[in-house]
Structure 1
Amino acid sequence: MAIALEEMGYDTGLDLEVLKEIADHFRPIKEDFRSKGLLNPKVMDVEPNTLLYQVPGGMLSNLLSQLKEAHQEDKYEAVLKEIPAVRKDMGYPPLVTPLSQMVGTQAVMNVVSGERYKMVPKEIKDYVKGSYGKSPAPLSEEIKQKIIGDEEPCTVRPADLIEPGMKAFKKETEAYADTTEDVLTYALFPNLAEPFLRKKKDPFYDVPIQNVTIILP
């Protein structure tokens, strides 16, 4: 890639000798992963059908992993063909995280179960209900009925249904959060943020208190 860009007149600023050292370092690791079955050779192939099937490259490894767990690797091509159909049913959402995983998982379920939408994950149900917002194109009533039945769809901005949480987060972190950024860090990653912020405020907060006996002369 670096050489191709340089031949087109772009200065990448990359040292090819260093890139070679990096490649040499990871080559035996790649071979080890391949020999142990941790790296599927299919994900290393050039797949021209990604344009036809509308599958981002990063989705392929996830699809192969899901099919391998279900012992259905022979259904790979069928799943690839099912993805554009599911995307059409879902109103053509952009295949970016998390929607790419959701569409891919639904395609796998449709193929493996032998019946379209016989099994539907919660995330797809929430999407069809409108909990992820409005789809780019309308969903057919047939698809809605099959996936959510008579459940009421969300017709308002989904975030408006979430109770404000900032006040509660501030109260929970008042002993060690000094800034709004600290509180937001805790809100996103509570298990990791609390010990980090406590140690930031007091480097010795988790050091056990030592009982020291002083003997005076």
Structure 2
Amino acid sequence: MAAIRLVETSLRDGNQCLWGALGVDTARTLSIAPVMERVGYAAIDFTTSTHMGVAVRYKQQDPWERIRLMAAACQTTPLQFLSTGFRFISWETASPEFMALAFATLTRNGIRRFALADPTNDAVANAAAARLVKQGGGEQVIGALVFTLSPIHDDAHYADAARTMAACPDIDALYIKDPGGLLTPERARTLIPAILAEIGGKPLELHAHNTIGLGDRTYLAGAALGVAALQCASGGAADGTSNPPIERTVRNLREQGHKVDVDDDALAQVGRYFADLAAADGLPTGAPMAYDAGYVRHQLPGGMVGTMRRHLADHRVPHLEGAVIEELGRVREELGWPIVMTPFAQMLQTQAVMNVTGAERYATIPDEIVRYALGRFGRPNRPIAAYVMDRILSSPRARELQSEPEMAPLADLRRRVGAQLSDEEFLLRATMPGAMVDAVQAAGPAPRDYDPAVRPVMALVEQLLARTDLTRVTVEKPGFRLELETDA
């Protein structure tokens, strides 16, 4: 049995799947960083440009500062940045020179490993991005094979993409990225050998979710078939729609005879931290999921199913859920079988709801569907159905969007945004409202310390201070006493 390495995903994917990317800030990251460094992970799945935007928009924190501080705390464990196509923060397609600047700036601030996941599985585009990463100083590039179920996403599809990426000298490893948790052990037993046969000596990793309870068993199958690393989350950030729990995965691997060389005490401490964080902050935690055959029909991420139900309930048509799911499958086929991942998951869901609730199908077409048809999100896996393409292109809005200018040359963009800005500030201001970046600068350095054990006490103190009918308060627990008294 082979030695299996681990990639820790709590700060990025676990946080995104269970907490809407809002559960972790700079203090909550840095407080566990020294322990994560001791574990012995192959890498820490740390951030994306979307998460960087969340830091600015919702936390008023500098994402570059967070990267630098985490990199300083994890000097032997590479931090991973996930890039989904040629984009940075904005969903606007970025120019190669803009992406080159983004990759180089990320590297300079402490990102050492880049995962490249093109939402259309465009292996050529991944190879082009990998070249930019390496030119910018990135140490490791791992190319994604994004898994989905459709008539065209067979083993040959993935083998072809794997062959193209493996031939690229700038891609160091590949990974099967299963955002929907759809890969079964049975399919893994044909898919993984087909990919390994094409990639020579380059390592293959596996990233799956437990959305319908398949992840644990698929990970064991992958390990037996030659996968070099598994991507897992910890404690309260694991399971459910997130990734398989790391401690359970390690126990299962060792039970099967695999070697997993990690610091078990540090691993357990990381798990307790994310469990305590979720409890202290009132965040939902993942739980083992039952198999749901109906999920295969729509493949929507767990959070989006809830969004769809709320939308239908708000419009007083909750009984149309089944019709929307059926329509989503039709729309996906008509649009060339896009993978149900961001941004396509949101686009498919929106169009399906509009088709079901509108006067006729495609009576209303969202701008993002039009942009997709115009090729702004890459090449569709299959040509869009002719009657749908005609409907899209004949709309006045399509003609307007066709004339949208592409991203300005980098030099022009710098002059417009601010020639004197640092690369870090320029990248934020070029992709986000300036007022949000101003708010980050006004807020100053982010707090760096967080202790989930203190959180309930602080919440109680805040509630008591909000009351006007108290003159004296004593808060006491073992090892802690606090007395507050008004001047009156």
Equivalent residue runs for 1:36-51 within 5 Å: 47-51=292-296
Contact 1:90/1:139, CA 8 A, preserved across alignment: yes
Structure-2 separation of matches of 1:2 and 1:14: 9
Question: Whose radius of gyration is greater, 1 or 2?
Answer: 1
Residues 164 and 21 of structure 1, relative CA distance in 2, 3 Å threshold: closer
Equivalent residue runs for 1:79-94 within 5 Å: 79-94=324-339
Paired letter, 1:5: T
Q: SS at the partner of 1:132?
A: coil
Q: Tell whether 2:427 aligns with 1:184.
A: yes
Paired letter, 2:429: Y
Matched with 2:365 is 120
Cα offsets for 1:155-204 (capped at 9, x unmatched): xxx998333254343454356x2x2222112212222224545887xxxx
Aligned match for 2:340, one of 95, 98, 107: 95
Deviation at 1:130, TM superposition (A): 2.5
Deviation at 1:89, TM superposition (A): 0.6
Contact 1:109/1:119, CA 8 A, preserved across alignment: yes
**Which structure has the higher relative contact order (CA within 8 Å, separation 6+)?**
2
Paired letter, 1:162: M
Matched with 2:268 is 14
Paired letter, 1:134: R
Q: SS at the partner of 2:430?
A: helix
Q: Tell whether 2:369 aligns with 1:129.
A: no
Structure-2 separation of matches of 1:131 and 1:19: 38
Deviation at 1:135, TM superposition (A): 1.0
Equivalent residue runs for 1:1-217 within 5 Å: 1=245, 4-8=248-252, 9=254, 13-15=267-269, 21=276, 25=280, 47-113=292-358, 115-149=360-394, 161-164=406-409, 166-170=411-415, 172-174=417-419, 177=421, 179-189=422-432, 190-194=434-438, 196=440
Cα offsets for 1:48-96 (capped at 9, x unmatched): 3112333232321221122122221111111112112111111111211
Structure-1 separation of matches of 2:439 and 2:273: 38
Contact 2:355/2:361, CA 8 A, preserved across alignment: yes
TM-score normalised per structure 2: 0.32
Q: SS at the partner of 1:14?
A: helix
Residues 51 and 197 of structure 1, relative CA distance in 2, 3 Å threshold: same
Residues 24 and 131 of structure 1, relative CA distance in 2, 3 Å threshold: closer
Structure-2 separation of matches of 1:17 and 1:198: 34
Q: SS at the partner of 2:360?
A: coil
Structure-2 separation of matches of 1:125 and 1:85: 17
Cα offsets for 1:102-155 (capped at 9, x unmatched): 00000111111253212211211222232333211011221111222277x89x
TM-score normalised per structure 1: 0.65
Deviation at 1:97, TM superposition (A): 1.2
Q: SS at the partner of 2:364?
A: coil
Contact 2:417/2:429, CA 8 A, preserved across alignment: no
Paired letter, 1:14: A
In structure 1, runs of 5+ residues without a counterpart are: 31-43, 201-217
In structure 2, runs of 5+ residues without a counterpart are: 1-244, 255-259, 445-488
Structure-1 separation of matches of 2:405 and 2:393: 21
Paired letter, 2:426: V
Structure-1 separation of matches of 2:352 and 2:298: 12
Structure-2 separation of matches of 1:107 and 1:169: 39
Residues 105 and 46 of structure 1, relative CA distance in 2, 3 Å threshold: farther
Farther off after superposition, 102-111 or 60-69: 60-69
Residues 46 and 114 of structure 1, relative CA distance in 2, 3 Å threshold: farther
Farther off after superposition, 9-18 or 99-108: 9-18
Matched with 2:100 is none
RMSD: 3.6
